[in-house]
Structures are given as structure tokens and as C-alpha cells.
A = this chain, B = another copy of it.
Amino acid sequence: MKKIEGGVCAPQGFQASGVNAKIKNLKITKKDCALVYSEAPATAAGAFTTNVVKAPPVAWTEGVAIRGACRAVFINSGNANACTGSRGLSDVQAIAEKLSGELGISITEVGVLSTGVIGVPLPMDRISDGLHGCVAALSPGGNADAAHAIMTTDTVPKEYAVEVALSSGPVRLGAMAKGSGMIAPNLATMIVVMTTDARIEAEVIQQLLRECVGVSFNCICVDNDMSTSDAVVVMANGLAGNTPLLPGTADYEAFAAAFRALCVEVAQALVRDGEGATKFVEIRVNGARTDEDAKTIARSIAHSQLCKTAFFGEDANWGRIACAAGYSGVRFPQERLCISLGDLEVVHEGLPTGFDEAAASTIMKAKDIFIDVSIGDGAGSAVFWTSDLSHDYVSINADYRT
């Protein structure tokens, strides 16, 4: 597996575009409509927010993913089309219908996603201009424009691609993402579009996506607020010509490893670009009875406001880490708890080690902090990524809407 350029257009037969259509208001000059298109039919998979307050585009695109075929995904920023009721859903259908006509594909193969302010109907005239412009601008080099167009409070565009050698030759995977951690303007939207030219059945890639989401997008935290619009959509057009990938084969394992690595890379990028984030913190838990228990403990630490403010303060506050592990809901013997910050063990079998504060301070002052928590109760392990809770986080979110 090697990293390559090209984002969502890196795999064969994918085109993309991004244009400005002034979706949020007439003063907007940044690109705000994006389209990713596969020249050939593509199988599809998706993972979506479980929030019961679900934006109409998510409901629509979930239906597309369930059918297992998708050739185009249109995304606008500036307006989330959320809390817009039946009008919101008919607007999504109108977008899918128009794209279906312009691209000459079935309406059931068109995904539609939106991010931005909520409770405001889409400006459908400008959306029409945007999607028409996106179709006209489609190109095999349009990936960067698309990655820019979906940004909201993101400070950097996020696109990645890898190539992996299978027995039949190389296949490629690409991805673009938006989201400042789990959160973003108003409603914390994370949108990820992944492309590949591998041949893989919809059920197979759906299962793979489910597994990979569990160790990537479900293992990150900026503020634990789950959006009404979170979505990951995958398209696989098969143009690499490999034998369809099936679990249990070496080719599948190679592809799955690349797919998982791409998901983890994108997930980590979302945390690094978290709103107000000054730290990237990796929390590794081992020795739990099960992997699920380990994840619960890691999540509890990652979500703790007290831990996150301590990270911001560069304070080696092992007590808060022990405390958050303790209230996670997982029962474990506290007299076996060990905690290390980087290479420095700060708690050994439930008691502070009397560590060197200067050494701890050096570790906490780094941009990337690694925390190991050992429970001594089994073989379960998990990794979680989180950011710190800073003054900028409060500032960004205290006055977003007004």
C-alpha cells in the first residue's frame, strides 16, 4: 500500500467538481457545491448518523446505499437542509431527479448530502445553478475543488488516496472529508466520500465499511455531539478489473487493510482539525476483558471535559484519567490500573509512581500526546483519538448561530 495523489479521483473512472453557488447567502465566494461521479456503474455502501432527528438528505442517501448502487454524490455546504420537514425531502428528490437527467443515470443511483445552517429550506434556484455548474465542471482532476467545496469550519481540505497491489494488479482508493472532529457549524456534520476502482459486491463492502467505521469514525471525539447529518458514502466501480473481492482471500485482506488505513487516516484528520484543537491525543487501552470494554474506557477518557481541559492546560493530570476510566461503566480492579503518558508511567497498580514532573511536562507540551491505560483484566484493547477543550472551542461555539 502506498499513498498517492488525486483524492476521490485517484481511482480509475471517477470525476469530480466544485463550484460556487452562493448557497448560504449572496456574499459567499467560496465553492459550496461538489459532485463526485463514476463513469461506470458502481456498487455502494454507507454509514449514517443514528440521530432520530435526521436531515432529509441523510434519509434519502441511506436509501441509495441500502440499494447498493451509487454513481454520483452531490454535496452542498452552507445549508444542511435539516429540520425542514416534507419540503426538505421533496427538495432532495428534485436534486436527485435533476442530476439523474443531466448525468443520464438512474435517480436511485444519486446520493445527496448537505451541511450548514439548519431549519432553513434550500434555495432551490441557486442549488439548481450549483448542480448544473458541477455537472459542467466534472473532470478527472476536479477532486481538490470538490474537497474545498464541502468545507465549512474546516481549516484545511481533507483528501487522501492510496494504491494497493492485488494479485491482478493495482487498485486505488480515494477519500475526501469535511468536519472539525465530530462537530462543525451548528450541527457537527461529518461527511466522508470514498471511491475505489476495485470490484467488490455491495454486501461485501458494506460489511467492510461497518467494521472499519467501528475502529475509525466511531473512535474519534471532539465534543461527543452527534450530528443530524453525519454520513460516509463509498462507491466502487470495478474498473480495476480484479476478481470480485471476497473475505478470506489474500486480495481481500490487502484491500481491507488499505480501506481501514484510509478510514483511520481520515478520522484522525477530523480530530486534528477539531474546532479550537491545539492537541491530538491518542488513547490506547489494553488489558480489558473485551475490545468493547476497552473502547468504552477509552471513549470515557476521550469525552471527559476534565481530561480535555487538562490536555489543553498541558497538565499531567493522571487523576482525571483514572477517574474517567473508573466511571466508564466497565468494572475493573482499580489496584491493577496502570497509566502511562508517552513512555512515562504515572500510575502503577492503582498508585501514583512519583514520576518526574519535568519529564511529564515535556510530554504534555507536545502537539501529539499518547496515553496508555492498562486494566490488567484480560486481552481486550482499543484506540481512541480526541482533541483538547480550549478557549477557542468555547469562542467558536458560543456565537456560531448569531
Contact = CB atoms under 8 A, between A and B. Distances in A.
A60 interface: no
Interface stretch (A27-35, A253-261, A322-330): A322-330
A389 B306 CA distance: 12
A57 to B, nearest CB: 15
Contact of A84 (B225, B332, B351): B351
Given A310-B401, A320-B186, A394-B312, A352 B119 contact: yes
Interface residues of A, number: 64
A400 B223 CA distance: 21
Interface in A358-402: 389-391, 393-395, 397-402
Dominant secondary structure of chain A at its interface with chain B: loop
B228 A326 contact: yes
A188 B332 contact: no
A238 to B, nearest CB: 36
A315 B398 CA distance: 7
A187 interface: yes
A306 B225 contact: yes
Contacts of A326: 51-54, 226, 228
A402 B391 CA distance: 18
A227 interface: yes
A369 to B, nearest CB: 14
Contacts of A306: 183, 188, 223, 225, 397
